[in-house]
Chains A and B, each alone.
Chain A
Amino acid sequence: MKKSDVPQDKSSLETGKHKELCYAVDENGEYTTAKSSGWQPKTIALDNAIQEINDRIENAKNRVLNNETSPIEYYMELHKMDVGILASYVGLFKWQVKRHFKLKRFNKLSEKTLQKYASIFEISINQLKDIDYGN
């Protein structure tokens, strides 16, 4: 890549402030660095990935409202986690976390376990039990 070809495409507002370093060749064929404000192929990939996450959150929310899953799954998606990551934060096995998605199990969870989840998501137990709490 030539230094003059280092892309300066617009990214979304937040990431746009962040310029990253690229390596490119100057007129004399010498390697140098240049700052790039963004490149469309990656902006689209990032936007799609975020859209994908938002779809997952929306989907989880609807399933919570339809009593098909527990709010834990919704908050997990909201925090961009998957079952493996959440399990390692609460210090449980994946299958245990998955079981807590079941409403029957969730309703029987101890205060202590609920508090564990609530602290990870940085919310109160009330918010953990009811995703619309306070709204």
Chain B
Amino acid sequence: MEINFTHHQTAHCENGVISNLMKYKGFEISEPMVFGIGSGLIFCYIPFLKVNHAPAISYRTMPGQIFKKFAKRVGIKIKKEKFKNPQQAEARLNENLEKNNPVGLQVGVYNLVYFPDEYRFHFNAHNLIVFGKENGSYLISDPVMETVTTLTAKELEKVRFAKGAFAPKGHMYYPISFPKELNIKEAIIKGIKNTCRDMLAPVPIIGVNGIRYTAKLIRKWPKKKGVKVANHYLGQIVRMQEEIGTGGGGFRYIYAAFLQESSKILDNNKLADLSKEMTVIGDLWRDFALDASRIYKSRSRSAENDVYNNVASQLEVIADKEEVFFKKLKKAI
């Protein structure tokens, strides 16, 4: 059984699953639209949590939030199911496929066999679509892959029931009802307001304050943790910013694309200008990554403090620019 489903590659998995499911249902919704309406953009330093033995930093909101907010704002209803028992999880999946209903699944990356080995870490908030079953294998549309792929029932069970932080517990989701017309204009405004609120939040670890907080930590790392660990941490920041499907610059380019698209839909020129500004900020994030990589490239144990202060200052400049930016954005809508 195979559903007539078209796969489109996207930068990020969660946006991608939503955008692909919406397109299947006949709604042309781009990845940036999903990301912007779902208020995916953020900066957050997550205390107490270590990922790959380094601090956890996130450039997007918590897994599942984008879909939840997007659905609510455009007026679609989502059915979500979690399972204790893998057999039950598979049975429910099969039921949906028989009804010609492609579904989104939350999975762990570590046992995802079609991923390059180097990308297989214990990260449990990846998303993909199952759109059919053929010769005992499930047909998979993983939005970050160029083409569709397959997984055996056993392989799929393993990734659906991965353990650790954000364990998926077989999490399956799909839209069940749609309004006659999506509430796009209003949804865009709500999405933008939410992001401005997040980025300007009066909390030390979130938004522009979070960027400043991270800059402060970077200054301390070489002395407090030693150069080796400091470099490992810096590498981790760059990976979070560039590697996990952010579309470049820690999602800033996707956000700029969203603002550009929105300026046309809302007929608001200010958003077009702000899109350009966000692109420039994205470029600054890329410069930061490039300079940080020069530090950890050498893996030397004797790097000077100056270089850490230098990239920390770059982050502080970005924080200042984003603060001004989101204040302007708030006023522009």
Contact = CB atoms under 8 A, between A and B. Distances in A.
Q: Do A and B bind each other?
A: yes
Given A20-B11, A23-B32, A45-B236, A39 B242 contact: yes
Interface residues of A, number: 41
Contacts of A36: 248
Contact of A48 (B32, B165, B167, B296): B296
Of the candidates A36, A49, A50, the one having the most CB atoms from chain B within 10 angstroms of its own CB is A49
B253 A30 contact: no
Contact of A1 (B235, B239, B286, B293): B286
B235 A49 contact: yes
Given A45-B235, A45-B238, A23 B296 contact: no
Given A23-B254, A23-B256, A49 B116 contact: no
Given A21-B9, A31-B256, A52-B52, 11 more contacts: A14-B117, A15-B119, A18-B119, A21-B245, A23-B247, A31-B260, A42-B239, A42-B242, A49-B236, A80-B110, A89-B163
Contact of A23 (B119, B231, B238, B257): B257
Contacts of B144: 20-21
Contacts of A33: 11, 247
A31 B32 contact: yes
B28 interface: no
A123 interface: no
Nearest to B114: A18
Contacts of A104: none
A63 B101 CA distance: 52
Main secondary structure of the interface of A (DSSP, over half): mixed
B293 A15 contact: no
A19 B239 CA distance: 16
B247 A21 contact: yes
A31 B10 CA distance: 14
B195 to A, nearest CB: 17
Interface string B48-71: 001011000000000000000000
Given A31-B32, A31-B257, A31-B260, A21 B11 contact: yes
Nearest to A51: B299
